[in-house]
């Protein structure tokens, strides 16, 4: 009788599913993300009242919220393995590439879920009118992928170090800065109704691809050393 394939037959999807189940039990990362986003958006909304923010300020605020939410929640990508003592078991079950991309998929799901929750609140609280919603969705997706790729690799590098929280943001931000600036520029154009050039979109796509390739190469050494 042929074996019926399940999600656990694919190590990458199995790692992602394990993290989803662990997060569903604790809700640590997602809870941290939501609380930071709500507090930031509500504080700014109360401060500005009914005044509409310029597109430049609104775009910067949106990506600052998403960036620091990611820093608050994604830093524990490998810490839970280290603290619970399951790192060795994970090494036996899955190869480094499966672990890396499984973690990336989980972090991407987490950040996309946060983005889906934040955007309506962002529009409602700050009275922002999005002229090109399709462009905004594309920029958000590419920006989120960049954040996830860099933060997952950084979390793997810092899993065994002291002071992970402060070092995580300090090391992640400089690497992420080119994509961060491109995402802000694309968001400004989506709010203002200005078409983005294909060179800008290609830069964001190229950045994501290059970072994921670099992470794939470096992670083998991090995982076994």
For the chain, 225 residues long, the average pLDDT of each consecutive 10-residue run is 53 79 69 76 74 83 86 72 67 79 88 88 84 91 93 81 68 89 92 86 94 88 72
Half-sphere exposure of 2 (CA within 13 A, CB side): 3
Half-sphere exposure of 135 (CA within 13 A, CB side): 22
User: Which pTM value belongs to this model?
Assistant: 0.85
- Plot region of 163 (φ>0 → left; ψ -120 to 50 → alpha; else → beta): left
φ, ψ dihedrals at 214, nearest 5°: -65, -40
């Amino acid at each position: 009788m042929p074996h019926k394939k399940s999600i656990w037959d694919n190590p990458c999807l199995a790692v992602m599913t394990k993290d989803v189940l662990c997060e569903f039990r604790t809700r640590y990362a997602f809870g941290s993300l939501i609380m930071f986003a709500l507090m930031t958006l509500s504080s700014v909304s109360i401060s500005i009242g009914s005044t509409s923010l310029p597109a430049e300020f609104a775009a910067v605020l949106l990506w600052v919220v998403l960036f620091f939410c990611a820093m608050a929640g994604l830093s524990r990508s490998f810490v839970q393995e280290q603290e619970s003592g399951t790192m060795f078991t994970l090494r036996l079950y899955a190869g480094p590439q499966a672990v890396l991309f499984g973690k990336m998929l989980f972090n991407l799901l987490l950040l996309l879920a946060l983005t889906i929750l934040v955007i309506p609140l962002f529009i409602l609280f700050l009275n922002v009118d999005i002229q090109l919603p399709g462009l905004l969705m594309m920029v958000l997706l590419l920006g989120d992928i960049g954040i996830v790729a860099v933060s997952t690799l950084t979390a793997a590098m810092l899993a065994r170090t002291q002071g992970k929280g402060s070092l995580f943001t300090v090391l992640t931000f400089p690497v992420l800065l080119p994509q961060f600036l491109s995402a802000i520029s694309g968001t400004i154009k989506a709010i203002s109704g200005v078409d983005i050039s294909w060179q800008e979109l290609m830069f964001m796509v190229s950045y994501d691809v290059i970072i994921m390739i670099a992470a794939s190469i470096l992670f083998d050494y991090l995982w076994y050393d």
